[in-house]
Structure 1
């Protein structure tokens, strides 16, 4: 995040809540002890969204070859040289929004503010899921205690996933019994206090984090479907309008992080792997909004580790100031359903239905509804009709999800647990953290934790080992 201007969202946040470097894991020096529930919630949502869209999304989308860096830090990331900023997301999340959410949950419990507490637990679950997907074992059970325990232990990743599901279940239960008197309204910058939308998002998060464990839990796919469906009744995010999105402002310092990136640095080009998929016949309607034509008027991407300034830049959808950062979406819910159904029953016809719906939702969102219905249906049928054996069907689902979730860290998790799409390591990717030059499978524990926290893992910093328990 230090690469971009600190976000300033006027009108609803006090100065200081969006500082990018909070310092110590268990102390937020910018947050007064009397912070209100509205300020804690709004501040947490804003920092989470900006961090996910800034270094976190940019680094992980370089690993997945959606992006290729041409200069400075972006070029270093393109060749897997990440130790200098690998801990940025960790430090920001733990000392910023996760500390704030812990405070929010405690204060909400003390005042019976069920709406705030429920949303806080859902956002904490999302934060834990995000952190563990980057770093593996992370603090939780002993974190956020300040001077009482300045050196929290790192909980095992398996226990973190159990805690994620517990937090989501508790959040759902609280929101089902909350009402307007103990819930946020406009201070909730994502759903404006719409509790049914938060509940649907929570069920979709449950499905996401269940599906993360496909290598570790033989029941993962069934659990994902059980989260999305109560019997035959669907209960996840049901349309694009209900996506868990944080919408940014129009000002230069209020705009979404991708817009700020291009205005301030413009040090990425699109990756060849990504552009080649968008260029597949028939033409993908998302191509002209996700990519900018090169000087020759065509679309091209850079090979990993070989970023070229002449290749296509990020297109107008993400560089528009008010484009949201998505935490989870309807399109992802349907991709999850498609994959889960295939894993449970490889001939389930509803898997193909879900895949087509996912592709349609992605196209409709980024093109802002400008693709005619008949054209959209035909394109979704082309991309979403299954061919080949079970392995090829899974490849189709994950490849289309890879396109649809451009800019989101979730695609790196999908690649690590499925191997799709097939990616070749970047040119020049060998370095001290990555002696074999392979595509990174984790981020190292941050240097600050390795130096200052005696409870931190002691393994040699690496972007390969130890593998996560769901990535064995």
Structure 2
């Protein structure tokens, strides 16, 4: 990605380091510019918005926790932690207060209003897409959330909560408006190098907006008052209008320089947090058993070194949510494709489009396996292999041993399991497992080989189906927090969100 504005680039590079969050919020928070607090130009707003959304939300807390619950990853440490379903109300405060509502959604709201007032519809379009996307992540994790009453300055300190059903209506409306505004070719100010995702190519933003609309239509396949086939038809109709492809899938490029590295590198590799978050034993064993060539791009093989058992060298070895039996170097890490210093952070991958099509065709066919469903399934797997650059020959070999079953129930599980593998380290996998029940994941109570009992059993006997509401909301906005959701996180995280409650 080209960086023409060197000063902004340096600031944003610093901003992807957690140690710089406080200073960056002062330098880049578009609510206050110390040099000109009432007139921050749209280009600076946009770079800050995209950078914050990428690091703090798409590559931040939501995916770190959901990847533990979908068993993409595990936390190899002793005692209670998120991997065995300990999540406290205070744990989600930063995501809610600082990251999503302040750094992303409020700033997106301000940007869209400013761009509209200045007659710059392309900037408004991007702001609305980011706002809609963050809204979806927050409502999918928490359920009912503030939106319509949330961005009124001092008057909005205690905003009412909108129902998740209404939030989804707002999301679709925002995306519809964004598509229209992104298509506007007037002589207004245009994004360029300040657009770190697409460098101002609005046709790519339009394709992304259609892709998100399709995703969200399918999200409601089991929602109360909805029918799966109708939602699937809406998803396919949206994709017919446009969708991301390999060359324009949204990916944020990080830097190999200190403090500008990829979020997964900072979180799981170089030790800014820990080096114990690694591919799970369940996930690694599953892909090894399937001879899945994608594993090489998702996890590393163990390499020789001090205190590394020679028997482990050259093998994939996953961790569990317990203190490991050996030093951590005996276990696979997240592969460089995702965790190198300068690895791209994919916000959405193009194979998801083909998996949306495969599932939608299955649902439209009344959950039967037709030739159209079979072809869509195979195309989705080929796209997933192509995403990593795996050869067509290897994809054919994999498909030969993973043909779609003629049994409808088994076929659905196959479609969703393959999508789960394709959407490695993405929150969407957590949404899909809740929505469909596939893949049928065991709770996080694995034992390492040789262990006879767990050091710390899971706190609940199921995979959590939501995040608890933040303690800050309980403290400052208690009258509006939905009363049906317990203040006790252990009880709250087993209550399904609206679209998952049918």
**Separation (CA, whole Å) in 2 of partners of 1:325 and 1:104:** 24
Look up the SS of the partner of 2:347 in the other structure. Answer: strand
Normalization by structure 2: what TM-score? Answer: 0.83
* 1:277 is aligned to 2:289: no
Q: Secondary structure at the match of 2:314?
A: coil
Choose which of 440, 453, 469 in structure 2 pairs with 1:445: 469
User: C-alpha separation between the residues in 1 aligned to 2:381 and 2:233?
Assistant: 22
Q: Answer yes or no: is the 8 Å Cα contact 2:196–2:252 preserved in 1.
A: yes
Aligned to 2:168: 161
Higher share of residues assigned helix:
2
| Deviations 1:233-287, CA, capped at 9 Å, x for gaps | xx211x2221011111121311111111211221212112211222134x22222
Aligned partners of 1:267 and 1:9: how far apart in 2? 33
Tell me if 1:347 matches 2:355.
Answer: no
- Cα distance per residue 1:344-376 (max 9 Å; x no partner): 11334333333323222322323xx3x333333
Question: Which deviates more from structure 2 when the two are superposed, residues 34-43 or residues 332-341?
Answer: 34-43
- Judged with a 3 Å threshold, the aligned counterparts in structure 2 of structure 1 residues 162 and 266 are, in CA distance, closer, same or farther, namely same
For residues 275-354 of structure 1, what are the structure 2 equivalents within 5 Å? 275-281=284-290, 283-294=291-302, 295-305=312-322, 309=328, 310-345=330-365, 346-354=368-376
Which residue of 415, 419, 422 maps to 1:401?
A: 419
Match status 1:185 vs 2:162: no
Deviations 1:66-101 (A, max 9, x none): 11102379x611111121423332221111111110
State the SS of the aligned residue for 1:10: helix
Gaps of 5+ in 1: 1-7
TM-score (norm 1): 0.88
Matched, 1:268 2:268: no
Find the counterpart in structure 2 of residue 225 from structure 1. 236
Distance 1:154 1:184 in 2: 33
SS at match of 1:85: helix
Counterparts of 1:277 and 1:256, CA distance in 2 = 27
- Judged with a 3 Å threshold, the aligned counterparts in structure 2 of structure 1 residues 152 and 225 are, in CA distance, closer, same or farther, namely same
Alpha-carbon deviation of 1:9? 7.4
Structure with bigger gyration radius: 2
Note the 1:12-411 alignment, pairs <5 A.
Answer: 13=12, 20=21, 32-51=37-56, 52-71=58-77, 76-83=81-88, 84-91=90-97, 92-179=99-186, 181-216=188-223, 217-218=226-227, 219-230=230-241, 235-237=242-244, 239-261=245-267, 262-264=269-271, 265-281=274-290, 283-294=291-302, 295-305=312-322, 309=328, 310-345=330-365, 346-366=368-388, 369=389, 371-380=390-399, 382-383=401-402, 385-411=403-429
Q: Specify whether residues 408 and 109 from structure 1 end up closer, same or farther in structure 2 by C-alpha distance, changes over 3 A only.
A: same
Q: CA deviation at 1:179?
A: 4.7
Quickly say closer, same or farther: Cα 1:93–1:9, change in 2 above 3 A: farther
SS in 2 for 1:86: helix
Q: Tell me, yes or no, if the aligned pair for 2:336 and 2:343 is still in contact at 8 Å.
A: no
Instruction: State the aligned residue count.
Output: 447
Tell me how far apart the structure 1 counterparts of residues 322 and 431 of structure 2 sit (CA, whole Å): 21
| Alignment correspondent of 1:456 | 481
The 2-side partners of 1:17 and 1:291 are apart by 23
Q: Deviations over 1:149-172 (max 9, x none)?
A: 211111100000111111111101
RMSD: 2.5
Question: CA offset at residue 124 of structure 1?
Answer: 0.8
